[in-house]
Structure 1
């Protein structure tokens, strides 16, 4: 049933000048579906990594302790001011190689290309999350902080129960925008042979010369993914907004 539907689709699109013939090949179709699955897995794993990293960096930046804020600031500036692809290549070709040598060979290295994509992209976006959260934390009214201190909250409790909840509401639009960028950045995995949808598409179009068709599909796929992220972010904004604020 599926094969007949796909065959009809391929025939119809061919009459319009498009080449989707790979859909009738079980091998190529499997590669492409696996690529889409890998892209979705990368996004699903990298999003929480970026959020946790951004929260920790924001806490360090606003801690008031130089031994925490200075390294965090250096990391944020270095990370957000250099290309993600360059960071990935440095991590995979330099850091990963040094780890392999230290462990006695690549066969003993537990870190896969998938790990490096998640780590690099996640921490790259975490730097942007951190700046958004830092701005939100610093925008919390001083009277609110004084009230928290008056009821006996310590610095950590103020950060966790007062500043972070309010900062998250203020920073949520920027964080959602960062997550949209994160989804797009997972395509850098193709540079180190992580089998996400871009890498799978390259393998197919190198044999079939159907670059235009697959690029159109990739654009539509990421448009759909990021539309879902944006809609989820808008729902969270409405869910978390302070009642009566702005009325």
Structure 2
């Protein structure tokens, strides 16, 4: 009897549930490693560790969906790892690199960024359970995603480590603080951003071009990592106004459809109740 109870308590877990969680833990290790290298003053490696965490974060969800290994445990673990990787790690990296030039205000900016990341993740978890969202909203994120926020917030550090060689001096610290607070605002706001979750299939005629483009981007990222990160960050920031315009067009179309339905419903009610006419 006791053996049977033990077997029921310690049941086997399929590998398809374990693999995505292992990727999530690896991403968490990258985030913590980024903090370690930032403390040691090796900011170039710290930046690459955050980028690696972002790549792994994009893979764990896709692996879970592809393997049908999604679970509540995995979702909670992913949120906790994301807060460390994309909230705590970038905030400490930026503070240790330059924001500590104005200690109190710099630490305030780092705290605001981390809190904005936590709020963004909490809202994402709540909205993902909302069954009343229109289908087209799947193509958009509400607020800047946490991984994108971490990557974009590190732009001043990319510029410092790239051929631009942005100097790290006290004069520029107020501008960097303002930039970090601006990214924190984008994360905590309801400004729409394009979502890449629906990117899963490539038309057959474009497969060769996509493979060649990804290979060239990976090669350039190895040779000129900081320069490519600058280009990717600026490109992403340029897509935000486009996402806002596209989101508003979908909203306008939904509003027009609702108005048409309400008008037709009112006409039906009047036809069925002649006494309401006039």
* Fold match (TM-score > 0.5): no
Higher relative contact order (CA 8 A, sep 6+): 1
State the TM-score, normalized to the length of structure 2. 0.27
With normalisation by structure 1, the TM-score equals 0.29
